[in-house]
Amino acid sequence: MEEPLILERYRPLAELGSGGHGTVVLAFDTRMARRVAIKRLPLSHEARTSGLAEARTAAMLNHPEIVIVHEWDTGDDEAFLVMEYVDGASLADILDETGTPLDADEAAAVLRGVARALAFAHDNGVLHLDIKPANVLITRDGRVKVADFGVSALTGLSGRAHGVAGTIGYMPPEQIRAEELDARTDEWALASLAYELLTNANPFDSDSLEGSLFKIEHADTPLPSDFEPGLGHGVDDVLLAALAPEPEERYPSITAFVTSLLDHLGDAEAGRESLVELVSRFVEDEEDERAEEYSRLGLWDRMASRAHWFRRAWAALLCGWLLWAGLSPFGLADPALWGAVGLGALAGVLAPGLGLALGILAFGAALLRVDILGGVLFLAPAIAFWVYAGRRGRGDALIPVTAPSFGVLRAAPAAPLLLGFVFNPLVAALSAAAAALTTMSVAAATGARAPFLIVDWRFFIDPWSASVMVANMRALLAPGVLLAIAGWALGAAACSLACSRGTRGWAAVGTAVGALVLGGTYIAWGMLDPAVGPESWATSGGIALMVMVIVIALGAPTRGAE
């Protein structure tokens, strides 16, 4: 069963893990067509008031060994931290899977990378406060990535923690007591992590904060070499110094601590190569699962990365056609005519807003030449729509120009429902109103009668032929036309509201509600004009519903940048 989009953009695919801070899910970014990891956090008052500014600070930590923070936002009762998805495995998974410590080379590679990430963060005034195996990721090529800086910043960016904010076994006494924290707090956590990497044991783990605090301050910490005699006493001395209960007894910085420790470990470069093999073995079993999750994405999600090029190609076609149709009646020589058409198509590719403006002016001029009323009925709303939406220039504003093609297919009412499927309610409503006017104008011009849902295909081949009944466009002044325009706008908005959930089920609900609105519109029009009976619109409505069934079956709705 499909889950609603997160923040109307991210489609959840699978749960990656959960912990005290929240749940991490793998999601697909429907705008950027990429996988991301999203941390879902219960939304506290403190997070609501300070989280955005602090997450922005975390997002500025641009370092190759820090997981990138893409976005921070809030919902009704959750906060969402959108991060880079790291294709690999966490140290927690690797240690659990192997059941053995890392060797000296592998530990050197990991600790070197984590230390560089933490040193960079400390230089920029950011504490991590939750260093642990689950927050250290190893990529397929053996690179280290430290995760959850943004989450930690929510509690420790200022250098103070109000309450307990880390993980038992990786928190020094000052963090457990919620005292003032500094870079040496992260140093202690990294030393605890190093101890575990080298021995596969954590001597400070406990069922409670008090139990962990007692082990740190009163129990004798076992020497790492007691677990792994091959480590040597140099490792013992460095780790125990960094694990001192009092901050002032530790190394002055992360860099000083890890530099001292690496002198007693192996070759970090060799360790990275070994990590590649470790991670590849671990993620092999997950590849098929991830591929299956990705395969469940609908067609519209899969096409997200190519949507830009589809829009541009379609804009070129439509702008070129508008220029051709608009300039044909003026008797231009073929080189001039086709040169203008080519420039219009090029404008559609490079600047859709400009291409649409040229097309509207050319087509409106031709229509004025044939019939002044028809030209005014076209130009006034077309220019108003261009000022509001068309000049912004991504190509989406050309969709109303496409609407008459649905009339050729006897599926004109599909246009407002599709607009609701794609856009937010306001944009969908305005675009649907423009699409209704465009469709009915072309239908009337090609000889159709109320409710103007059927378009003669010959219009697109020769819009100014003798078969075009321009005089019939005066029928567009009937009150029912305004009712239909309003109905298309309301139907699109109703469909859009349901489609904002981003699931096929809600899209089906939105389509049904939108179809009811459209049906009610034409029933009301029939009360004003007996010629508009069910037989004049029911077939088009049925075909439109079949179109929507196919569209929904191919994929859930997405929300692009609006």
CA 285 vs. chain centroid, Å, equals 27
- Cβ proximity of 103 and 274 under 8 Å: yes
Q: Where are the alpha helices (DSSP H) in 200-333?
A: 209-217, 224-227, 233-242, 254-262, 268-295, 299-302, 307-327
- Cβ proximity of 562 and 423 under 8 Å: yes
- Cβ proximity of 31 and 7 under 8 Å: no
d(CA 344, CA 326): 11
Which member of 130, 186, 301, 396 is catalytic? 130
Q: Which of 470, 487, 389, 485 is nearest to 440 (CA)?
A: 485
66 CB-contact burial (10 Å; exposed 0-12 / middle 13-18 / buried 19+):
buried
* Joined tokens for residue 437: 């006017």
Distances (CA, A) of 520 to 202, 389, 463, 511, 513: 69, 28, 32, 14, 11
- Cβ proximity of 247 and 183 under 8 Å: no
Task: Give yes or no: 130 in active site.
Answer: yes
d(CA 60, CA 351): 33
| Pairing mode of beta strands 10-19, 22-29 | antiparallel
| Pairing mode of beta strands 34-42, 69-74 | unpaired
- Cβ proximity of 497 and 510 under 8 Å: yes
**Contacts made by residues 324-329, CB under 8 angstroms, sequence distance 24+:** 325/362, 325/363, 325/366, 325/463, 325/464, 326/359, 326/361, 326/362, 326/363, 326/364, 326/365, 326/366, 327/362, 327/366, 328/366, 328/463, 328/464, 329/366, 329/369, 329/370, 329/464
Catalytic residues: 130
